[in-house]
Amino acid sequence: MTDTFTSSRTRSAAGNQPASAAENQSASRPGDKTAETKEPSLKGTFIAVMLLGGFIIASWVLVLALFLSRN
Amino acid sequence: MHIHRLEKIWIGFGLAMLLIFLLLTGVAAFAMGISPPSSSSHENMHHGKVDPTKLQTTAPFDKPGLKQIGDNEYEAVLIAYAFGYNPDTIDIPHGAKVHFIVTSSDVVHGFEIPGTNVNFMAEPGEVTELTHTFDKAGQFLVLCNEYCGTGHEMMKMTINVK
Ligand SMILES: [Cu+2]
């Protein structure tokens, strides 16, 4: 997982430099392979979303356990 | 429209969580009968409504107290008022299943046995029902947890489980 992110970041960084005319041309066209690699890394957002989801699940289970223990 | 791979994962995660929670709530409500304390289907009551000014002549509130309805199963008919409960003490045999049937003769009151799931509102005109099994022996305090007036903090009753 980490590898994918590192490589995609490296590739997009390389894509920013006008290395060759062909590469530059393909980068400007939307929806092709090179444009896809340029999308922002959402790793931090993903971790934050999973932490929030984990917190919601833990709270839900905790409240259920409290209810069942008092029944 | 292009959706990021991680975005797809967390959208799926959120949807799955929503579905599981709804499914569990549905199973609890419809298969296990777990529902919030609410309106009664008791005979003589029209969808859990009762006239709070005519409780003395309305069954079952004309005779408040504990009634045995089965094998170690009881009905506790109680009236909350400012500032107490009628009756103010009930004795329950150990392990008994008790159906609380509670209303108020004046304002909104609470009915809570601390440390248990018995915690609901007693409202004038409405009949609240809740079933609880008393597995532990001892003396239980019932408190009003809805502010109802100047004597609110004195409002309590006792349940003896022996
Ligand atoms: Cu009260």
pLDDT level of residue B39 (50, 70, 90 thresholds) = low
Q: In chain B, what residues touch A43 (CB-CB under 8 Å)? A: 6
Q: Give the separation between CA B154 and CA B143, rounded to whole angstroms.
A: 9
Q: Give the separation between CA B45 and CA A25, rounded to whole angstroms.
A: 79
Is the minimum CB–CB distance between B1 and chain A shorter than 8 Å? no
Distance from CA of A46 to the nearest CA of B (A): 6
The structural domain count of chain B equals: 2
**Residue type present at position B99:** H
B93 and B140 belong to one structural domain: yes
**Residue type present at position A13:** A
Q: Which of A42, A53, A71 sits opposite B6 (nearest CB)?
A: A42
Interface of A with B in 9-38 (CB under 8 A): 31, 36
Q: Which of A43, A45, A53 sits opposite B13 (nearest CB)?
A: A53
- Residue B156, exposed/middle/buried by CB under 10 A (0-12, 13-18, 19+)? middle
pLDDT the model gives residue B143: 95
Instruction: Report the mean per-residue pLDDT for chain B.
Output: 88
β-bridge partners, B138: B161
Q: Which ipTM value was assigned to this complex?
A: 0.72
pLDDT the model gives residue A9: 46
* Phi-psi region at B149: left, alpha or beta (left = phi > 0; alpha = psi -120 to 50): left
B15: nearest CA in chain A?
Answer: A53
Q: Give the separation between CA B19 and CA A66, rounded to whole angstroms.
A: 22
When scoring A4, A41, A42, A62 by the number of chain B Cβ atoms within 10 A, the one with the most, hence best to mutate, is: A42
Q: Do B13 and A50 touch (CB under 8 A)?
A: yes
What is the percent of chain B with per-residue pLDDT over 70, rounded to a whole number?
94
pLDDT the model gives residue A8: 46
B4 and B59 belong to one structural domain: no
Q: Flag whether pLDDT at B118 surpasses 70.
A: yes
Mean pLDDT of A49-64: 93
- Domain-embedded: residue B136: yes
Q: Which of B6, B17, B117 sits opposite A71 (nearest CB)?
A: B117
B109 and B155 belong to one structural domain: yes
For chain A, the structural domain boundaries read 2-27+40-69
Nearest-CA neighbor of B137 among B154, B106, B161? B161
DSSP-derived 3-state class of residue B31 = helix
- Within 8 A by CB and 6+ apart from B115, the residues are A70
pLDDT the model gives residue A30: 52
Q: How far is the CA of B89 from the centre of ligand 1 (A)?
A: 16
- Residue B35, exposed/middle/buried by CB under 10 A (0-12, 13-18, 19+)? exposed
Which residue's structure tokens are 């999973």? Answer: A50
Q: Flag whether pLDDT at B78 surpasses 90.
A: yes
B61 and B118 belong to one structural domain: yes
Q: Which of A56, A57, A70 sits opposite B116 (nearest CB)?
A: A70
Mean pLDDT of B132-148: 93
pLDDT level of residue B40 (50, 70, 90 thresholds) = low
Chain centroid to CA B47: 16
> Which domain does B18 fall in, by range?
1-34
Q: Give the separation between CA B21 and CA B155, rounded to whole angstroms.
A: 38
B30 and B62 belong to one structural domain: no
- Residue B100, exposed/middle/buried by CB under 10 A (0-12, 13-18, 19+)? buried
Mean pLDDT of B130-148: 93
**CATH at B55:** 2.60.40.420
Q: Residues A3-21: pLDDT tens digits?
A: 444 444 444 444 444 444 4
Mean pLDDT of B126-137: 89
Mean pLDDT of B60-81: 91
Mean pLDDT of A30-59: 81
